């Protein structure tokens, strides 16, 4: 018997945290009974476990996709406003995959989709600090003081952001690397210095880059790319853990 959120993650339904949200929303059932209690356990081999009425498959092959998301798509599997979603771009993909992290509706660039819940959890968990690199075209040109504020971290939504790597490509065009995944973080950081984003494109996720992938196109990751992602998540988690240790007295 395993915790239900672990089973859902291993089945590729969602990361463990996202699986907990599915349970709290009443979208998960075991043997016909809706389960909302996060400590609930089940037997993946024997129990009838369903999400939104669809029985999960624990033997589905692992799939790792890299999509170049265009603007005008929502980074979810479905949208109550009936806007197009990134899933609409995955023609020919039969496996149940879901986005790892988010890119907002007006942003574009690289996005991972997978049914590997464990890897998705590692890539999105704050302690793993996998870097994400963005090209940000701003309205106006920030001065050096503004750039230093971005680099040091500033307060958005009541919390200070972590340090960012910021490089000027040309007037008003920045290359920004962050290691957090807060909602609309780059846009809010730039708004905080008085230079809102006009266009935002993610060009790298950890070791993953692909300048040849056109907007709306996707491809499967190679086995080596998957291994690099796994190593990056593990390495950054180890670094984060060492950084959080309290020195011995």
Q: Show the tokens assigned to 21.
A: 């949200």
How many CB atoms are closer than 10 A to CB 144?
A: 8
Q: Show the tokens assigned to 247.
A: 């020195």
Dihedral (CA of 42, 45, 48, 49) sign:
positive
Distances (CA, A) of 46 to 92, 140, 145, 146: 31, 60, 61, 58
Instruction: Based on the residue annotation, tell me whether 104 is a catalytic residue of this protein.
Output: yes
How far apart are alpha carbons 198 and 209 in whole angstroms? 22
Q: Are strands 159-160 and 98-100 parallel, antiparallel or unpaired?
A: unpaired
Bridge partners, 220 (sequence order): 65
**Enclosing H/E stretch for 2:** strand 2-3
How far apart are alpha carbons 64 and 85 in whole angstroms? 18
Candidates 104, 106, 118, 210; catalytic one: 104
Which residues form the catalytic set?
A: 104
């Amino acid at each position: 018997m395993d915790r239900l959120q672990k089973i859902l993650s291993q089945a590729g339904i969602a990361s463990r945290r996202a699986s907990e949200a599915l349970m709290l929303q009443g979208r998960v059932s075991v043997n016909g009974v809706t389960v909302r209690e996060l400590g609930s356990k089940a037997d993946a081999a024997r129990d009838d476990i369903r999400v939104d009425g669809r029985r999960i498959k624990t033997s589905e092959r692992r799939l790792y996709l890299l999509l170049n998301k265009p603007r005008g798509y929502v980074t979810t599997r479905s949208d109550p406003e009936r806007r197009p979603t990134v899933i609409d771009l995955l023609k020919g993909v039969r496996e149940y995959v879901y986005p790892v992290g988010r890119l907002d509706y007006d942003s574009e660039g690289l996005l991972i989709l997978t049914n590997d819940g464990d890897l998705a959890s590692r890539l999105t968990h704050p302690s793993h600090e996998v870097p994400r690199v963005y090209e940000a075209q701003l309205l106006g040109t920030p001065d050096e003081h503004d750039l230093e504020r971005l680099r040091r971290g500033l307060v958005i939504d009541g919390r200070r952001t972590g340090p960012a790597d910021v490089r000027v490509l040309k007037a008003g065009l920045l290359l920004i690397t962050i290691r957090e995944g807060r909602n609309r973080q780059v846009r809010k950081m730039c708004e905080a210095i008085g230079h809102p984003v006009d266009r935002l494109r993610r060009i790298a996720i950890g070791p993953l880059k692909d300048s040849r992938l056109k907007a709306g196109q996707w491809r499967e990751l190679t086995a080596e790319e998957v291994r690099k992602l796994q190593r990056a998540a593990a390495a950054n988690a180890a670094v984060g853990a060492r950084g959080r240790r309290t020195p011995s007295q």
